[in-house]
Amino acid sequence: MRLHAQHQPIALMRTDCHVCRSEGLSPRSQVLVIAGDRQVQALLYQIESELLAPGQVALSEAAWDELGIADGDPVLVRHTPVLESLSGVRRRMYGQRLAQADMAAIVRDVAKGRYTDVHLAAFLTATAALPLDAAETIHLTGAMVDVGERLRWRAPVVVDKHCVGGLPGNRTTPLVVAIAAANGLVMPKTSSRAITSPAGTADTMETLAPVELDMDTLRRVVDAEGGCVAWGGAMHLSPADEIFVRIERELDIDTEGQLIASVLSKKIAAGATHVVIDIPVGPTAKVRSDADARQLAQRLQDTGAHFGLAVRCLLTDGTQPVGRGIGPALEARDVLAVLRNEPDAPPDLRARAALVAGAVLELGGAAAPGTGTELALATLARGHAWDKFQRICAAQGGMREPPVAAYVEPLLARRAGRVIGIDNRKLARLAKLAGAPESRAAGVLLRAPLGSAVERGEPVLLVHAETPGELAYALDYARTVEDVVVIG
């Protein structure tokens, strides 16, 4: 029946199946489905229907993929083994710290799909309630690297960058990669999809070119062009991270320790040696104060150093979105405008990208200290970044135009005045309710940045949606909150 349940492996069996009876399996049991040397842990549901014969099992698409079998192949269904690593999760819930071996056992079981949503939520909540300390953060980072693939590059210097997020539209990555590669640096960039934001870099880049590259393709792109922008999840660099991210998204949380382990595990696994991390600071950004940002920067540097990774953090302005678009396709359009040196390209996005790229050029040895930003701006202005970006997209499988939303509705200024505040969190929530990031064309276009003057009735935001249901959902929300854009 091709049962789609996202990542969830599901096994369907008859209530009167002899396997269920002799093994004592009941609905919502966790079961192990084994086919040859492959196995998957699945959630069992039972049916009373002739759709299945006794002894037959139906599987969700995720389970088929994991097992790599064909219709009619025999499988073995049995109880899952006792999950010993959960005792570590329970101890952690009650405030005991985890040793390296505990963390390694937990992450191994997570990566193998043995943790239910309940177990995952408990682990992540426990590490939110009592934050991971320095040692635990190192243990978690190392454990997450160990369960994944690891890239190795011939180049002695491999640069990378990351933005801790929380700032809608801050889509500098494709620009930074193009600038760095155009200046001869090796930058094999793997990005994530959105955790709690309306778009991750991988979501945005996917509207411009394929990002689900296998290891061979990625290597070929980087060997040829010096850079790429690929989805990290397809590379299995940090498979546990993708699983944690799904639950963090459902809980709408993102803790410091998990953030550090998530970011650095992927950088280490991707083979980076030098990493620039952009930390936007603002009252409604993810990091709200300079003090918090400096603490995060220190912990990122310390944890990175433990793994031989040079980390440089930039504290940047996080008081308002960067660029105009929020949502995968809308952000991609901003990126293209900057690359193409279009006259109305968002100047703030150009400046931010040049700042981050400048730090990458300096840290990677392609620019003298203090000259990086200037070189980055010149690389953009001369069209070298645009050339490089097109070559990268072509190498990744072909460049394409971002999709356009079928439904667009303006939100109007309720009074005349000057824009004195923009709530990044509410803006992000609005874009998500409109369907981003799953609906690629959905999101919000900001028409009135901080400081701009607006007339009453003039559009301050445009909500883009792919379906009327999602448009209505977003507009409902916009009506209940008043201060997404504050006019003073």
Instruction: Point out which residues bind a second copy (CB under 8 A).
Output: 1-6, 8, 10, 15, 21-24, 26-28, 45-49, 51, 60, 78-79, 82, 86, 90, 93-95, 116-122, 124-126, 128-130, 247, 250-253, 433, 435, 438-439, 466-470, 473, 477
**Ramachandran area for residue 372 (φ above 0: left; ψ -120 to 50: alpha; else beta):** alpha
**Dist CA 370 CA 148 (whole Å):** 37
Query: 357 or 441, CB closer to a second copy?
Result: 441
Residue nearer to a second copy on the CB measure, 51 or 305: 51
Quote the tokens at residue 424: 């990044």
Q: Alpha helix locations (H) across 154-235?
A: 173-182, 201-206, 215-225
Helical ranges in 340-406 per DSSP H: 347-363, 372-381, 384-396
Residue with tokens 């599987």: 59
Identify whether 254 is a catalytic site residue.
Answer: yes
- Catalytic residue, chosen from 160, 241, 254, 334, is 254
Please name the residues in contact with 220: beta carbons below 8 A apart, sequence gap of 6 or more.
395
- Phi, psi at 191, each rounded to 5°: -120, 165
Q: Positive or negative CA dihedral for 329, 330, 336, 342?
A: positive
Of 206 and 348, the one with the shorter C-beta distance to a second copy is 206
Q: Residue 384 forms beta bridges with which residues?
A: none
**Minimum distance of a second copy from residue 266's CB (angstroms):** 23
Closer residue to a second copy, CB minimum distance, 176 or 247: 247
End-to-end CA distance of the chain: 57
Q: Which is nearer to a second copy, 118 or 344 (CB)?
A: 118
**Residues sharing a CB contact under 8 Å with residue 487, sequence separation 6 or more, in sequence order:** 413, 414, 415, 416, 417, 418, 419, 420, 454, 460
Candidates 326, 467, 333, 335; CA nearest to 402 is: 333
Using DSSP, state whether 16 is helix, strand or coil.
coil
Chain-centroid distance, C-alpha 223: 25
Considering only CA atoms, which of 262, 224, 256 is closest in space to residue 242? 262
Measured from the CB atom, the residue of 38 and 79 that comes closer to a second copy is: 79
Q: What is the DSSP string of 419-481?
A: EEEE-HHHHHHHHHHTTTTTSTT-EEEE-S-TT-EE-TT-EEEEEEESSHHHHHHHHHHHHH-
Closest approach, Cβ 11 to a second copy, in A, equals: 12
Sign of CA dihedral 400, 406, 407, 408: positive
Least separation in angstroms between residue 252's CB and a second copy is 7
Q: Which is nearer to a second copy, 451 or 480 (CB)?
A: 480
CB of 292 to a second copy, least distance (A): 13
Per DSSP, the three-state class of 129 is helix
Q: How far is the CB of 5 from a second copy (least distance, A)?
A: 5
Nearest C-alpha neighbor of 39 from the set 61, 73, 2, 68: 68
Of the two residues 268 and 465, which places its CB atom closer to a second copy in the complex?
Answer: 465
CB of 221 to a second copy, least distance (A): 29
Q: Least CB distance from residue 22 to a second copy, whole Å?
A: 5
Q: Is 4:61 a contact under the CB 8 Å cutoff?
A: yes
- Name the minimum Å distance from CB 447 to a second copy: 24
CA distance 227 to 404: 27
Query: In angstroms, what is the minimal distance from the CB of 213 to a second copy?
Result: 23
Nearer to a second copy, 121 or 315 (CB): 121
Q: Determine if the peptide bond prior to 437 is cis (ω within 30°).
A: yes
Active site residues: 254
